[in-house]
């Protein structure tokens, strides 16, 4: 028996020496910090809270969510790129088009679009043109006809400036040849009372708004490739003849230079989590995506190209 | 510093100084972003000017910083700044224990003679206190406190 | 249905989560910098494992406790624990300095409980009409609300109004640092990336209120509390406080109504309600000049009005899905996750749950009394017994942690120290911190309201005319004018009265 024990130890030692060092420190071995660059209670936060228990199960360590709101996300993103260690223990929520638009338009955003190692884009919330239930606009056509006849009189609310909502409104103006007045708001939250109270004529916002406030709001069109499952009766812009597809992608990123095996492990955990929380999120109007690795990078490129014209025009105007 | 001063002119001057600082911070961007800041900076300038004029015409004089020792609050303030400045270097725990102990010892001198034995009691109390907050914040509230060269 | 729902709440687990929630909220609220929103966000994951009702009950209790807990720090160290108790410090701290800290805590407790219950009643019975009223606030109305709020400066600035206005302007300038709420471009960043996010109101609040106090304690080498001998039995009793609070029904009713109206305006919460209620209490008082010296009236006004906003701000939340105040956004998130869609069906289809939640907030308000009286005494004793040289660094520690915790930013802590030190100097010169914080809160609302109004009026020849279009705007303008002219009207009235009182006039009435 003793002999056998000794033999066993021998094997263990031999294996230990033969193996390259780092493998022993199996990632992850301590809690992971998951930074949300927005306020508590927003979509990014709620999604992260949904993910948290499942991520902990798949990774085997606690995942701590912390908030660092400010500057439309830029405060957290710039600090992340400056200070986060590429060891996989600090990850951050990322949004398109925010990380594309801000560095291009702001003088000192403090971070770059390519300065992240994207782990995964896990869902997409298409833009949607929403009006109040008692609005005279019953269809997108009503809306466009009226806007043609009354330039600048139609006010379209949206969340933020140079945001997904804003850029989409600009694209709609171009595609339909109309002149709208875009009124930025400080988030999706304030859009809802503004619509219900008739303070704006319409809103270019996210599809969830149309889903969650069905009783009082009407969605005229959504900017996705296919109809959104939670809004089966609402046409897409494409169906109506306007080539407008866009919205916000939410995802998660690690610092540049994070070792690939760690990124893969995180991507796996997020993918599995996404499958589990899908049924809850799809019902709320989200479209789940599973873009990891090269696919995630390609998505950034594709969206950069899609918004490029509009963004460049804004930049020209600024100068 | 314990002198009677014209508080109208003094506060007006501080206001004017800040107005100048922010005036040079104004940039030429979209009207939506800058119209309001321009307005409030102008308002601040006008109010500062009004105060200075009032100070010349109908001054209100008052003793300031009269209560207690000025040296003591200034040193305390400097210790606060140092505490926060070294935090990213030494880490939250170490810097806080260090500076809280320093502040306790410094302030206690005004009340009681400080002996080595007293310090031997105070420092562990400080450590216990900091440990309590440290654990509460990092473990329960999930606030990642600044880490330094130690942890 | 109400009766059944009420019985449902007498479940040991629910009662326990109410008491635990209130206690946790109280602790968080009492530490400057830790806000109700933060407490709710931290608790969120725990509620996922609970059934919807239990989860909502726990969150409601934490919210209630946090808003109330803010009064402790205000009373004992002159530092509002949350922005909802700024004005509590105006009366509570002078009371504490006179050795009446326990009396102040008892009064705050009773007033908070009354406010909490009143808020729940508003929510229960008046939701639909109030929700419709809240929708009428658009950009122009917000602008006028902010302007109306700025007229409070006259009464908040101790002494010189001109200095108070300067403070208000400074607050508004500080508030414009960072990304423009509407234009999206950055202002006043001076090349510092972190300033894109601006100066969070909490950071300014902590710096401007706490640091001058700490410097003062350090300079005097004694804390204000340890300066006076206290007879613990004197007037601190609960029943005495109940009597005092209910001896001013007019004040209570007025403060509760103010709290409710502010609460339903999306984006404005206890932070504005307590100041407005304080101001109105002062204005209605027979002896306004005594405000600021430790008057129970002021304390009762602020603490009842801010706790009304807890349940009160859920009126637009439950009926329309619009958070009335920042912490409500977290509660909305929880409801969405449990598939509870705000709207009338919340009151019909899931009635048990909704009414249970509303009633539980009233229970939480009642639970504040025992929890608060015990906890208040404990905190009081700790602060009273702690030697000043421990008190200063300990409060500084809590302050630093609170500031840091707002968004995990070291720069914010530096900002807090800079603002606080500047605030200390300004306070000595007669520029009080309250107008600066008020400017900071209202500046943002005014800016958004103004720019959005101008955008909305693009099709007009003169876009600014939109500011005067709606009847609600006009009412608000009239109120602003009245509010600004009030001190002069008062002086006029006194002069007329003085003339009337003169013996020559012989009137028959």
Report which of A88, A82, A94, A89 is spatially closest to residue A38, judged by C-alpha positions.
A94
SS3 content of chain A, % helix, strand, coil (to 5): 45, 20, 30
Contact B144 A65 (CB under 8 A): no
> Cα-Cα-Cα-Cα dihedral of C47, C49, C53, C54, to 10°?
-70
CA separation, residue C496 to residues B52, B109, C502 (Å): 34, 59, 10
* Chain A interface mutation, best of C28, C48, C406, C455, highest count of A Cβ atoms under 10 Å: C455
C457 vs B contacts (CB less than 8 Å): none
Contact B67 C417 (CB under 8 A): no
Closest-CA residue in chain C for B53? Answer: C162
Q: Residue C321, Cα to own-chain centre: how many angstroms?
A: 22
Q: How many CB pairs under 8 A join A and C?
A: 173
Q: Quick one: CA dihedral A233, A239, A240, A246, positive or negative?
A: positive
Bridge partners of residue A96, in order along the sequence? A249
Closest-CA residue in chain C for B122? Answer: C390
Q: Quick one: CA dihedral C472, C473, C476, C477, positive or negative?
A: negative
| Residue C48 touches chain A, beta carbons under 8 Å | yes
Contact B30 A318 (CB under 8 A): yes
Of B47, B103, B146, the CB nearest to C393: B103
C137 vs A contacts (CB less than 8 Å): 193, 197
Contact B103 C163 (CB under 8 A): no
Closest-CA residue in chain B for A183? Answer: B32
Q: Which residues of chain A have pLDDT under 50?
A: 1, 13-24
Specify whether the CB–CB gap between C322 and A192 falls below 8 A: yes
The DSSP string of A129-180 is: EEEETT-S--SHHHHHHHHHHSTTTSEEEEESSSSHHHHHHHHHHHHHT---
Topology agreement, domain A32-124+247-318 and domain A126-222: yes
pLDDT tens, residue by residue, B116-130: 898 999 999 999 999
Contact B144 A318 (CB under 8 A): no
* Chain B residues with CB within 8 Å of chain A CB: 29-30, 32, 142-144
Q: A188-209 in b/e burial notation, b at 16+ Cβ within 10 A?
A: bbbbbbbbbbebbbbbbbbbbb
Report which of A71, B11, B64 is spatially closest to residue C436, judged by C-alpha positions.
B11
Backbone angles phi, psi at C188, to 5 degrees: 50, 40
Helices (H), A186-292: 191-196, 207-212, 260-283
Please tell me whether residue A289 adopts helix, strand or coil conformation: strand
Backbone angles phi, psi at A121, to 5 degrees: -100, 115
* Chain B interface mutation, best of A49, A64, A108, highest count of B Cβ atoms under 10 Å: A64
Bridge partners of residue A67, in order along the sequence? A36
Please tell me whether residue A124 adopts helix, strand or coil conformation: strand
d(CA A121, CA A293): 10
Give the Cβ contact number of residue C492 at 10 Å.
11
Of B40, B62, B111, the CB nearest to C389: B111
Specify whether the CB–CB gap between C304 and C115 falls below 8 A: yes
- Judged by CB atoms within 8 Å, which residues 170-209 of C form the interface with B? 170, 172-173, 176, 180, 182-185, 187-190
Closest-CA residue in chain C for B89? Answer: C410
Average pLDDT rounded to a whole number, residues B3-15: 88
pLDDT for the residue numbered A4: 52
d(CA C199, CA A313): 31
Would you put residue A70 in left (φ > 0), alpha (ψ -120 to 50) or beta? Answer: left
Give the Cβ contact number of residue B2 at 10 Å.
9
Of C169, C185, C401, the CB nearest to B137: C401
Contact A66 B144 (CB under 8 A): yes
Q: C144-161 in b/e burial notation, b at 16+ Cβ within 10 A?
A: bbbbbbbbbbbbbbeebe
Q: Which positions ≥6 away from C311 have C-beta within 8 Å?
A: C60, C64, C116, C119, C120, C122, C123, C358, C361, C362
The CATH number of A126-222 is 3.40.190.10
The DSSP string of C40-55 is: HHHHHHHHHTS-HHHH
Q: What is the CA radius of gyration of chain C?
A: 23
Q: Residue B89, Cα to own-chain centre: how many angstroms?
A: 20
Please tell me whether residue C178 adopts helix, strand or coil conformation: strand
So where are chain A's domains? Answer: 32-124+247-318, 126-222
Q: Which positions ≥6 away from A105 have C-beta within 8 Å?
A: A162, A311, A314, A315, A318, C184
d(CA A306, CA A205): 18
* Chain B interface mutation, best of A32, A49, A66, highest count of B Cβ atoms under 10 Å: A66
Report which of C430, C173, C187, C413 is spatially closest to residue B18, judged by C-alpha positions.
C173
pLDDT for the residue numbered C110: 94
| Residue A139 touches chain B, beta carbons under 8 Å | no
Report which of C352, C24, C373, C83 is spatially closest to residue C203, judged by C-alpha positions.
C83
| Residue C479 touches chain B, beta carbons under 8 Å | no
d(CA A257, CA C491): 71
Instruction: Report the run of H or E that residue C137 belongs to, with start and end.
Output: none
pLDDT for the residue numbered C234: 54
pLDDT tens, residue by residue, B48-80: 999 999 999 888 887 777 777 889 999 999 999
d(CA C479, CA C144): 9
- Judged by CB atoms within 8 Å, which residues 28-67 of B form the interface with C? 29-37, 40-41, 43-44, 47-48, 50-51, 54, 60, 62, 64-65, 67
| Residue A33 touches chain B, beta carbons under 8 Å | yes
Q: Which chains touch A (3 or more CB pairs under 8 A)?
A: B, C
Instruction: For residue B105, name the pLDDT band (cuts at 50, 70, 90).
Output: very high
- For residue B45, pLDDT beyond 90: yes
C351-385 and C2-9 helices, crossing angle to 10°: 40
A33 vs B contacts (CB less than 8 Å): 144
pLDDT for the residue numbered C205: 86
Q: Which residues of chain C have pLDDT under 70?
A: 1, 45, 48, 157-158, 224-236, 502-509
d(CA C6, CA C61): 16
The ipTM of this complex is: 0.93
pLDDT for the residue numbered C46: 72
pLDDT for the residue numbered C224: 64
Q: C333-362 in b/e burial notation, b at 16+ Cβ within 10 A?
A: bbbbbbebbbbeebbeebeebbbbbbbbbb
Could you tell me the fold of the domain covering A32-124+247-318? D-Maltodextrin-Binding Protein; domain 2 (3.40.190)
Specify whether the CB–CB gap between C45 and C212 falls below 8 A: no
> With 0-12 CB in 10 A as exposed, 13-18 as middle and 19+ as buried, what is C472?
middle
Specify whether the CB–CB gap between C391 and C76 falls below 8 A: no
* Chain C interface mutation, best of A55, A56, A57, A75, highest count of C Cβ atoms under 10 Å: A75
d(CA C432, CA A142): 55
Contact B54 C162 (CB under 8 A): yes
């Amino acid at each position: 028996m003793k002999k056998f024990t000794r033999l066993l130890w021998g094997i263990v030692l031999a294996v230990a020496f033969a193996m390259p060092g780092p493998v022993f420190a199996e990632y992850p071995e301590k809690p992971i910090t998951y930074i949300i660059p927005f306020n508590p209670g927003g979509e990014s936060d709620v999604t992260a809270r949904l993910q948290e228990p499942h991520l902990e199960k798949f990774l085997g360590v606690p995942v701590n969510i912390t908030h660092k709101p400010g500057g439309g996300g830029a405060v957290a993103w710039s600090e992340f790129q400056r200070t986060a260690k590429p060891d996989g223990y600090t990850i951050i929520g990322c949004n398109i088009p925010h990380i594309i638009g801000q560095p291009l338009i702001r003088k000192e955003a403090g971070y770059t679009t390519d300065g992240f190692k994207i782990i995964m884009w896990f869902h997409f919330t298409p833009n949607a043109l929403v009006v109040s239930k008692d609005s005279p606009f019953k269809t997108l056509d009503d809306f466009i006809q009226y806007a043609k006849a009354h330039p600048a009189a139609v006010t379209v609310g949206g969340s933020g400036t140079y945001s997904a909502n804003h850029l989409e409104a600009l694209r709609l103006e171009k595609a339909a040849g109309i002149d709208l007045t875009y009124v930025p708001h400080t988030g999706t939250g304030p859009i809802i009372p503004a619509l219900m109270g008739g303070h704006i004529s319409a809103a270019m916002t996210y599809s969830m708004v149309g889903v969650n406030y069905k009783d009082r709001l009407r969605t005229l069109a959504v900017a996705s490739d296919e109809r959104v499952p939670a809004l089966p009766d609402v046409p897409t812009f494409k169906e109506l003849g306007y080539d407008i597809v866009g919205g916000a992608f939410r995802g998660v990123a690690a610092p540049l230079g994070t070792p690939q095996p760690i990124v893969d492990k995180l991507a796996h955990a997020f993918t599995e989590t996404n499958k589990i929380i899908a049924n809850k999120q799809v019902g709320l109007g989200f479209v789940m995506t599973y873009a990891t690795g090269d696919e995630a990078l390609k998505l950034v490129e594709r969206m950069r190209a899609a918004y490029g014209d509009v963004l460049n025009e804004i930049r020209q105007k600024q100068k | 510093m314990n002198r009677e001063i014209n508080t109208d002119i003094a506060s007006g001057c501080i206001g004017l100084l800040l107005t100048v600082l922010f005036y040079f911070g104004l940039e030429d961007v979209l009207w939506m972003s800058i119209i309001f800041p321009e307005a409030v900076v102008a308002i601040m300038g006008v109010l500062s000017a009004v105060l200075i004029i009032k100070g010349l015409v109908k001054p209100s004089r008052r003793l300031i910083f009269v209560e207690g020792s000025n040296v003591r609050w200034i040193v305390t303030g400097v210790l606060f700044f140092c505490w926060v400045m070294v935090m990213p270097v030494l880490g939250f725990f170490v810097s806080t224990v260090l500076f809280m102990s320093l502040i306790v010892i410094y302030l206690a001198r005004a009340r009681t003679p400080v002996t080595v034995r007293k310090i031997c009691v105070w420092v562990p109390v400080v450590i216990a206190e900091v440990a309590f907050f440290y654990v509460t914040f990092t473990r329960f509230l999930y606030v990642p406190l600044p880490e330094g060269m130690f942890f | 249905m109400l009766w059944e729902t009420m019985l449902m709440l007498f479940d040991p687990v629910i009662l326990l989560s109410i008491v635990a929630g209130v206690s946790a909220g109280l602790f968080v609220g009492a530490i400057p910098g830790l806000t109700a929103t933060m407490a709710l966000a931290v608790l969120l994951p725990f509620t996922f494992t609970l059934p919807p009702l239990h989860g909502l009950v726990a969150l409601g209790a934490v919210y209630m406790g946090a808003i109330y807990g803010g009064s402790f720090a205000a009373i004992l160290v002159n530092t509002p624990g949350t922005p909802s108790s700024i004005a509590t410090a105006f009366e509570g701290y002078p009371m504490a300095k006179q050795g009446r800290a326990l009396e102040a805590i008892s009064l705050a407790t009773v007033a908070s409980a009354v406010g909490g219950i009143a808020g729940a009643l508003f929510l229960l019975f008046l939701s639909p009409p109030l929700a419709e009223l809240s929708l009428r606030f658009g950009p122009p109305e917000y602008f006028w609300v902010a302007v109306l709020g700025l007229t409070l400066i006259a009464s908040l600035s101790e002494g010189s109004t001109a200095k108070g206005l300067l403070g208000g302007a400074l607050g508004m300038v500080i508030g414009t640092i960072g990304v423009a709420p509407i234009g999206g471009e950055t202002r006043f960043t001076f090349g510092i990336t972190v300033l894109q996010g601006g100066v969070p109101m909490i950071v300014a609040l902590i710096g401007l209120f706490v640091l001058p106090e700490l410097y003062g304690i350090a300079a005097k080498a004694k804390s204000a509390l340890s300066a006076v001998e206290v007879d613990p039995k004197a007037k601190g009793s609960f029943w005495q406080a109940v009597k005092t609070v209910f001896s001013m029904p007019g004040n209570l009713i007025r403060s509760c109504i103010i709290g409710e109206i502010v609460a339903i305006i999306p984006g404005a919460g206890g932070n504005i309600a307590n100041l407005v209620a304080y101001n109105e209490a002062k204005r209605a008082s027979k002896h306004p000049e005594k405000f600021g010296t430790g008057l129970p009236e002021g304390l009762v006004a602020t603490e009842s009005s801010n706790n009304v906003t807890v349940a009160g701000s859920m009126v637009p939340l439950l009926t329309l899905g619009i958070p009335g105040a920042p912490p409500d956004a977290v509660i909305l998130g929880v409801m969405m996750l449990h598939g509870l869609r705000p709207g009338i069906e919340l009151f019909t289809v899931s009635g048990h749950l909704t009414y249970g939640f509303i009633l539980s907030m009233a229970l939480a308000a009642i639970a504040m009394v025992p929890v608060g009286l015990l906890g208040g005494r404990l905190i009081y004793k700790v602060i009273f017994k702690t030697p000043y040289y421990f008190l200063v660094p300990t409060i500084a520690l809590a302050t630093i942690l609170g500031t840091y915790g707002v968004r995990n930013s070291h720069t914010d802590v530096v900002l807090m120290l800079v603002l606080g030190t500047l605030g200390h100097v300004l306070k000595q010169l007669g520029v009080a911190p309250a107008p600066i914080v008020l400017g900071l809160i209202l500046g943002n609302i005014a800016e958004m309201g103004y720019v959005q109004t101008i955008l909305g009026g693009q099709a007009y020849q003169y876009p600014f005319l939109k500011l005067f279009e709606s009847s609600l705007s006009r009412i608000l303008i009239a109120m602003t004018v009245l509010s600004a002219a009030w001190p002069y009207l008062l002086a006029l009235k006194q002069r007329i009265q003085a003339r009337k009182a003169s013996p020559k006039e012989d009137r028959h009435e």
